[in-house]
Amino acid sequence: METLNKVIINQISTKVEKISGAEAVIKCLLAEGVNLAYGYPGGAIMPIYDALYNYQNQLHHVLTRHEQGAIHAAQGFARVTGKVGMVFATSGPGATNLVTGIADAQIDSTPLVCITGQVSSHLLGSDAFQETDIIGISTPVTKWNYQITRAEEIPEIIAKAFYIAKSGRPGPVLVDITKDAQFGELEFEYKKCEKIRSYRAVPKLEIEKVKAAAEMINSAKKPFIVWGQGIIIGQAEAEFKSFIEKTDIPAASTVLGLSALETSHPLHVGMVGMHGNYAPNVLTNQCDVLIAIGMRFDDRVTGNLQTYAKQAKIIHFEIDPSEVDKNVKTDIAVLGNVKETLTEIMPFINSGSHKNWLNEFHKLLQIEKDEVINNQLNPTKPGLTMGEVLNLINNETKGNAVIVSDVGQHQMFACRYANFIKTRSSVTSGGLGTMGFALPAAIGAKMGVPNREVIAIIGDGGFQMTIQELGTILQTEVAVKIVVLNNSFLGMVRQWQELFFDKRYASTVMKNPNFVKIAEGYGIEAQSVSQRADLTTAIKTMLASKKAYFLEVMIAQEDNVFPMIPTGASVSDIRLS
């Protein structure tokens, strides 16, 4: 009895024991299951880093070389694990250096919690050293943000931050904590947030809409599915597969939807969009019912809206009501989490067969193979192509790797040609198109799934935007594989200049350093390849390495990405050359 009393008294006393705001932050993160964070210390966040020092065994902090590196790493981690990515930065420049990553996470619906230090509350608004209005700056690019000025606010706000970041359509949340709030004391008690009265994470499922959609799908002669990242975020891969297999409807992915369905699936007809596949783009304008699932009709997907799928009825499965009718007018909107809506629709769906229609896709795929794909994957002309590099990587990894691509031509080659057999295997900056994303994102991805092979595919331009993160690899020994496809050009811009600006190559030529030496300087084994005969061995060597590895491949400068839908053109006017 006496011992029991003691236990109870101890429990009560731990409850009311006062701790610092900084320590409370760490305890909140542990309560949310965070055991990995990325960041960079500085004056206004020092109390939190000091508190972190006592919890290193439970919360591992990765020191990146720049705050942008930290946030992209957290994004990579979040994208491959589905967990919330965690970032720390100090006030002023530390906070503003996060902004690109925050905007990237917002447009690609990536769950992040960013904690920034802020000057003491009595200095707010006084233009103090390293003071910046990060709340004002980050407002348009965060799902939610909040400035904490009192230690007592910390548990409730951080609980809200995690709930908001990961629920519904996920997104980045920024919590700015003044230095005095970090130093201040509070009686710590943590309660996870489960609802916010003014926030509806998932709209109410309307069964009537589900039935109406089923009826439209059942009577369709040439139905076509375009799916997006919503399938992955909603963990609805299995439901999605059952749905397409039962209905026998050809399905194409957006850039961000890649890997939700294995590339080899017979109903997988490729990727839509500006550099997507020929068949799904052309047949978008021939289908009779277009079923959009967890995607948002980005302009890079639709091309000219005036001529986009005008002949088709549109069904939109979507979690965010503000996306419905935003770009493309829908006939039926099925709101809700796709895992639920796709489950609900199954009993109302008839088993279908669309052999002839699927054959249309195969015919056009053959044209694309003859005119584009074969030349890319198995080129006979001198000069290495990006496609053949991807093809050889596919041969070696058998689709098991996570491919993290940067932004530009190589990204489109990676998205077009990488084979995937598992979900969450393609990580790229889709909506924002952030060059410099891939190297840090691959670091985060590898830490998220250490047992998987993670390969970053980067151009020589983007690589140099966050090249300093080789230092993070040096320090953490994270075994990420880096492939730089070097054409000594800002290739995508060069391609546009070639096609639309009379080959006036304004500021796209890159004089590059010796990347191999740089990688070696960071202790990373490296090699450069410029001959076709050496490529397979080089890729094998890279993949055989248990450590980080850097492979530079010298690519032919005139290598262009096709097919292509020129800006303002219709999806069906996609060019093969």
Partner 1 sequence: MEEKQKFTVSVYTENNVGLLNRLSAIFLKRHINIESMTVSPSEIDHVHRFTFVVIVSETLIRKVVGQLDKQIEVVKAYYHKEDEIIYQETAMFKLSTEFLYDEKIQNKLKLRRAHMVAITKSFFVIEMTGLKEDVDRLYDRLKPYGLMQFVRSGRIAITRTPMAISELLKTS
Report the C-alpha gap between 416 and 277 in whole angstroms: 8
Residue 562 CA to its chain's centroid (Å): 23
Q: How far is the CB of 318 from partner 1 (least distance, A)?
A: 11
Instruction: Tell me whether residue 376 is one of the annotated catalytic residues.
Output: no
Closest CA to 129 of 86, 90, 157: 90
Q: How far is the CB of 196 from partner 1 (least distance, A)?
A: 7
Q: Which stretch binds partner 1 (CB under 8 A): 142-150, 220-228, 467-475, 554-562?
A: 142-150
Nearer to partner 1 (CB atom), residue 317 or residue 463: 317
> What are 292's two structure tokens?
């959009």
E-assigned strand segments in 149-200: 172-178, 185-187
Instruction: Tell me whether residue 129 is one of the annotated catalytic residues.
Output: yes
Contacts of 59 (CB under 8 A, 6+ apart): 26, 29, 30, 34, 35, 36, 37, 52
Closest CA to 231 of 247, 254, 250: 254
| Contact string (CB under 8 A) for partner 1, positions 463-502, x = contact | ----------------------------------------
Number of C-beta neighbours around residue 258 at 10 A: 28
Nearer to partner 1 (CB atom), residue 135 or residue 474: 135
Q: Is 240 in the site for partner 1 (CB under 8 A)?
A: no
Instruction: Tell me whether residue 179 is one of the annotated catalytic residues.
Output: yes
Report the C-alpha gap between 525 and 399 in whole angstroms: 24
Q: How far is the CB of 320 from partner 1 (least distance, A)?
A: 7
| Contact string (CB under 8 A) for partner 1, positions 197-226, x = contact | xxxx--------------------------
Report the C-alpha gap between 188 and 13 in whole angstroms: 11
Q: How far is the CB of 135 from partner 1 (least distance, A)?
A: 6
Q: Is 567 in the site for partner 1 (CB under 8 A)?
A: no
Number of residues written out for the chain: 577
HEC assignment per residue over 70-123: HHHHHHHHHHHHCCCEEEEECCCHHHHCCHHHHHHHHHCCCCEEEEEEECCHHH
Q: Is 337 in the site for partner 1 (CB under 8 A)?
A: no
Q: Is 511 in the site for partner 1 (CB under 8 A)?
A: no
83, 143, 179, 313: the active-site residue: 179
Nearer to partner 1 (CB atom), residue 190 or residue 199: 199
Q: Is the dihedral of CA 234, 236, 237, 243 positive or negative?
A: negative
Nearer to partner 1 (CB atom), residue 325 or residue 370: 325
Q: How far is the CB of 93 from partner 1 (least distance, A)?
A: 21
Q: Is 248 in the site for partner 1 (CB under 8 A)?
A: no
Q: Is 145 in the site for partner 1 (CB under 8 A)?
A: yes
Q: Is 61 in the site for partner 1 (CB under 8 A)?
A: no
Q: How far is the CB of 145 from partner 1 (least distance, A)?
A: 7
Instruction: Tell me whether residue 447 is one of the annotated catalytic residues.
Output: no
Q: How far is the CB of 173 from partner 1 (least distance, A)?
A: 9
Contact (CB, 8 A) for 550 and 526: yes
Number of C-beta neighbours around residue 422 at 10 A: 15
| Contact string (CB under 8 A) for partner 1, positions 317-336, x = contact | ---xxx-xxx----------
Q: Is 6 in the site for partner 1 (CB under 8 A)?
A: no
DSSP reduced 3-state for 63:
strand
Active site residues: 67, 129-130, 179, 492
